[in-house]
Amino acid sequence: MISFPMIPGVEINLYLLVFAGLGAGIVSGFTGVGGGFLMTPALIILGFPANLAVGTSITWVAGNCLVGGLRHGRLGNLDIRLGLVMVAAATAGAEVGVRILNWAKTSGLADEGVLSIALVMLVAVGTYTLAESVRRKKELDGERKGRPAVLAERLSLAQRLQGINLPPRIAFPRAQVTVSIWVMLVVGFCVGVLAGIVGVGGGFVTVPSLIYVLGVPSFVAVGTSLLQTGFSAAYGVVRHSMSGNVVVFAAFIILVASSIGVQFGVQVTRYVRAVSVRYILGVCILLSAAGTALKLTGVLVPETASWSGPGSLAVTFGGLGLTVMMIGSLFFLALRKRRGKGVPTWAQSFLGEED
């Protein structure tokens, strides 16, 4: 156990703190999310007050995304121009989000507000992402059996949005899209607000938005999201530090652990299809939502704290462990396939060349 001066009277399990950093780093490197949607609820469950969990989480997110973004950049999974446009709008949104959180803290509603907003976003984004990836996997399975492919739904939506003739329009060659700057600014601003309120860099919203709304290839969306998330989170770090919401030593412990995990997560993306990234991202988001829901139940209904607290701890950290195992399993199966060895039929559409 470890204690921090900013949280008097509260002891934090050091092993779970390190595990959270390592596991979230692997997930972040693989899926392109900053990992705040995992870290903020995990820190609250471990005993951090909501405002300190948010500030500490976003501090870790900034450093974690820098490591992952550089690694993805070396693999060519990065559109710098697209990321910088998103950063400009996200920074403005982050300011609004921090102000909302500070108001909630003053009103004594920080825990309920942070957890409620996080839960709604996790369920909405996780459900859509998982449903789409399941449909795409079925299409790929059908192609292997000789059935004609079906045009992905995300492309028709992206084509409609890219067709909005509202100047100025900007071309992003690496991301293979040309779109109105106003569409980009709206998406980036919403992501920034989330970063300020919930302590997430917004990656779990940015990645699906880039893929489904703008039609960006999945791996480019992953790398670009890490760049954008890192910059917007850095602004959130400054604002939360000014508000006294950052436990610096805790953020350092988490970052050291995650810097190892993120390298592995990025490496795995070289061996799998893009649909596997979206599939695991959807599963991970929904598992995190389950843990957040249990913690919120304990906050809103104190009588349930005797079971909701341990339940949220088990679901959140168990779900993180399950997600890491899924990524590790894909890596193992991909290596077997490259060596000419057999792999299960269900895994075939997850492995191989980018879809």
Question: Mean pLDDT score of the chain, rounded to an integer?
Answer: 77
Q: Select the more confidently predicted residue: 87 or 286.
A: 286
Strands 177-180 and 169-172: what pairing? antiparallel
| Percentage above 70 pLDDT, the chain | 83
What does the pLDDT read at residue 145? 60
CA distance 71 to 76: 9
Phi, psi of 295 (to 5 degrees): -65, -40
What does the pLDDT read at residue 151? 41
pLDDT at residue 5 greater than cutoff 70: no
What does the pLDDT read at residue 212? 74
What average pLDDT score do residues 297-312 get? Answer: 72
State the DSSP string of 170-223.
EEETTTTEEEEHHHHHHHHHHHHHHHHHHS--SHHHHHHIIIIIT---HHHHHH
Cβ-based neighbours of 126, under 8 Å, separated by 6 or more: 282, 283, 284, 285, 286, 288, 289
CA distance 144 to 349: 8
Residues 237-281 pLDDT 10s: 887 788 787 887 888 888 888 888 888 888 888 888 878 888 988
What does the pLDDT read at residue 253? 87
Computed over its alpha carbons, how large is the radius of gyration of the chain?
Answer: 20
DSSP code, position 165: -
- Tokens 């949280």 locate to 7
What average pLDDT score do residues 32-40 get? Answer: 72
Q: How far is CA 15 from CA 168, 295, 317, in A?
A: 51, 20, 11
What average pLDDT score do residues 164-189 get? Answer: 78
Phi, psi of 11 (to 5 degrees): -105, 135
The alpha carbon dihedral of 235, 239, 245, 249 has a sign of: positive
Q: How far is CA 76 from CA 79, 270, 348, in A?
A: 8, 11, 25
CA distance 218 to 355: 9
Q: How far is CA 190 from CA 131, 208, 216, 306, in A?
A: 23, 13, 18, 36
pTM as predicted? 0.71
